[in-house]
Amino acid sequence: MGAKILLATADSANMAKLEMALGPRGHQVDSVRSLTEAFNALEADATYDAVICDLLWAIGDSFELLQHTRADHLRNTIAFIFLVEEQGLLTESLRKVAAIHGADKFIFMDEFDAHRIRCEIEALLPEQIASPRPAIEPFIEPQDVQPQAQNAQPQEGIEENPGSP
């Protein structure tokens, strides 16, 4: 199982893009459209690994969600990522306020690249869940395996048929 991510945005297009980028990797994305829904989701489930929030979500709501998350002793260490529609919208003062309140990263959505965004998000997740799918080892055909001879003697200390009398 991958990470459990709370996505807070009213932008349906960004919501769909992020669900498409993260879902196939095994991450569970719970999407909410309002601050009340975000608070309810966090209160109902303390197992989120990350919160992704639209920076300009609603006047003050994105920073209120950030402050709420950082003030909660059960959730104050989870990754908090701000989505920014385009780089020009992130002013220096917004960047400073977000940093002061504990935002971990800004992800820019102006040129959507699912791989880049997924890598940026996974880099902030705990290591054991960042890459939920282990690499599949290639099947190697056994070579030169000799069947054991019928009259072979069992090795000393090894039972031939455990459980038989």
Q: Which residue has the higher pLDDT, 163 or 91?
A: 91
The predicted-structure confidence for 120-145, as pLDDT tens digits, reads as follows 999 999 875 544 444 334 434 445 54
Contact by Cβ (8 Å): 42, 6: yes
Q: Which residue has the higher pLDDT, 114 or 163?
A: 114
The predicted-structure confidence for 72-104, as pLDDT tens digits, reads as follows 988 899 999 999 988 888 889 999 999 999 999
Domain 5-130 has CATH 3.40.50.2300: yes
- How do the domains of the chain map onto residue ranges? 5-130
Residue appearing with tokens 């969600």? 65
Residues with Cβ < 8 Å from 85, sequence gap 6 or more? 11, 14, 54, 55, 56, 108, 109, 110
Dihedral angle sign, alpha carbons of residues 45, 11, 3, 120: negative
Identify the pLDDT of residue 5.
Answer: 96
The predicted-structure confidence for 23-74, as pLDDT tens digits, reads as follows 888 999 999 999 999 999 999 998 999 999 998 888 789 999 999 999 998 8
Tell me whether residue 120 is exposed, middle or buried, using C-beta atoms within 10 angstroms of its C-beta: 0 to 12, 13 to 18, 19 or more.
Answer: middle
